Amino acid sequence: MAAPNTPAAKTERLLNLTMTLLYARMPAPKQRIRQMVEAYRAIESDEAFDRMFERDKEDLRAMGIPLVTEDIGVFEDEQGYRIDRRDYALPPVELAADERAVVGLASRVWAHATMAGTAATAWRKVAAGDEVGEDPFVGLEPQVGGTEPAFEPLKDAVLSSTAVRFDYARPGTGGSRPRRVEPWYLTAWHGRWYLVGHDLDREAARVFRLSRITSSVTVTGDALTVPVPDDVDPVRMIAATDPSPSETVPARLRVRVGTGHGLRRRAQEVVRVDDDWDRVDVPGADLDGFVSEVVSHGGDVVVEEPSELREAVIGRLRAVATAHEGSAR
DSSP 187-204: EEETTEEEEEEEETTTTE
- pLDDT attached to residue 251: 86
Q: Which domains does the chain have, with CATH numbers?
A: 7-88 (1.10.10.10), 150-241 (2.30.30), 249-326 (no CATH)
Give tens-digit pLDDT for 282-296.
Answer: 886 666 667 777 888
- pLDDT attached to residue 138: 47
- pLDDT attached to residue 99: 73
pTM here? Answer: 0.44
The answer to whether 238 touches 196, Cβ cutoff 8 Å, is yes
- pLDDT attached to residue 178: 92
Alpha-carbon dihedral sign for residues 317, 318, 322, 323 = negative
d(C-alpha 142, C-alpha 145), whole Å:
10
Give tens-digit pLDDT for 119-164.
Answer: 556 556 655 555 444 444 444 445 455 567 888 899 889 988 999 9
Write out residues in the chain with pLDDT < 50, as ranges: 1-2, 131-141, 143, 245, 328-329
